[in-house]
């Protein structure tokens, strides 16, 4: 693996590393994003976050909000799959935005990137609601990846307030214990809730669905999407999932 770019700002070291065609973002040595332009799927948490979109009818997926952009991997996936949807990404780290644009090739036509504290930004947001909100808000603590803040009752209410009537919320938790202690786990307003455990990690990527999409309908929409190969469809559908 080669370091192709780095920048230190105060106590924070940002690095872009490459391995073959893959581009990776590291902050203080912590791995945050990976994208291979020749492979739509990543075999990691970003695939699980992305598949939340298939709990929405494609015609109703118009506005997507991504909280915590990192390198913009989920943006790249959603643009390839749903080119007509409008994507907003909110990112606290200005250098991450620079890296997303320069090294992960996030263009103006892909998404509007906003440099802001996602929690403050959403609390003060008064615009149209979103059909899909993805909360991937992570930083690092003592060299380990960690959520930026707890998904408590207040943050749960804020997220839900900005979801459309048939909207879907996807939240990346470090593990099942973090999910179970969250305000979202206690919230009963969703029609269905699903937890995905991506390959090779212990994350609990949790999807909260306000509409009546069933798991079979979710699978059917993946199977019918023309962008996926047969192998990609099988991999997405076979990822470990449970309803709760």
- Cα–Cα distances in angstroms (integers) from residue 112 to residues 31, 66, 92, 106, 233, in the given order: 24, 10, 14, 9, 29
pLDDT at 142: 85
Tens of pLDDT along 132-172? 999 999 988 888 889 999 999 999 999 999 999 999 999 99
Say which residues have a Cβ less than 8 Å from residue 224's Cβ, sequence separation at least 6: none
pTM across the whole model: 0.97
Query: Is CATH 3.40.50.150 what the domain over 40-243 is classified as, yes or no?
Result: yes
How large is the average pLDDT for residues 71-100?
98
pLDDT at 216: 98
Smallest CA-to-CA distance from 218 within 77, 52, 60 is with 52
pLDDT at 143: 84
Tens of pLDDT along 20-37? 999 999 999 999 999 999
Say which residues have a Cβ less than 8 Å from residue 178's Cβ, sequence separation at least 6: 147, 204
How large is the average pLDDT for residues 197-218?
96
Phi-psi group of 93: left, alpha or beta (phi > 0 → left; psi -120 to 50 → alpha; rest → beta): beta
How large is the average pLDDT for residues 43-51?
97
Tens of pLDDT along 86-110? 999 999 999 999 999 999 999 999 9
How many Å apart are CA 164 and CA 224, to the nearest integer? 25
Residue 226 has pLDDT above 90, yes or no: yes
Per the CB < 8 A criterion, the answer to whether 106 and 100 are in contact is yes
Mean pLDDT for all residues in the chain: 97
């Amino acid at each position: 693996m080669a370091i192709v770019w780095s920048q230190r700002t105060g106590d924070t070291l940002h690095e872009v590393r490459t391995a073959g065609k893959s581009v990776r973002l590291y902050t203080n040595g912590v791995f945050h994003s990976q994208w291979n332009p020749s492979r739509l799927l990543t075999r990691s948490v970003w695939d699980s976050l992305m598949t939340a979109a298939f709990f929405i009818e494609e015609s109703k997926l118009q506005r997507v909000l991504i909280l915590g952009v990192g390198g913009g991997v989920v943006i790249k996936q959603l643009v390839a799959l749903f080119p007509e949807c409008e994507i907003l990404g909110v990112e606290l780290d200005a250098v991450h935005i620079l890296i997303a644009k320069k090294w992960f090739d996030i263009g103006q036509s892909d998404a509007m990137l906003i440099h802001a504290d996602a929690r403050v930004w959403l609390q003060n947001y008064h615009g149209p609601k979103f059909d899909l909100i993805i909360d991937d808000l992570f930083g690092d603590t003592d060299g380990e990846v960690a959520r930026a803040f707890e998904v408590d009752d207040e943050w749960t209410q804020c997220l839900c307030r900005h979801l459309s009537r048939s909207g879907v919320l996807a939240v990346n938790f470090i593990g099942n214990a973090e999910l179970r202690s969250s305000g979202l786990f206690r919230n009963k307003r969703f029609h269905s809730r699903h937890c995905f455990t991506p390959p090779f990690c212990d994350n609990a990527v949790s999807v909260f669905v306000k509409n009546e999409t069933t798991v079979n309908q979710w699978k059917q929409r993946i199977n019918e999407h023309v962008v996926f190969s047969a192998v990609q469809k099988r991999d997405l559908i076979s990822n470990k999932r449970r309803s709760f």
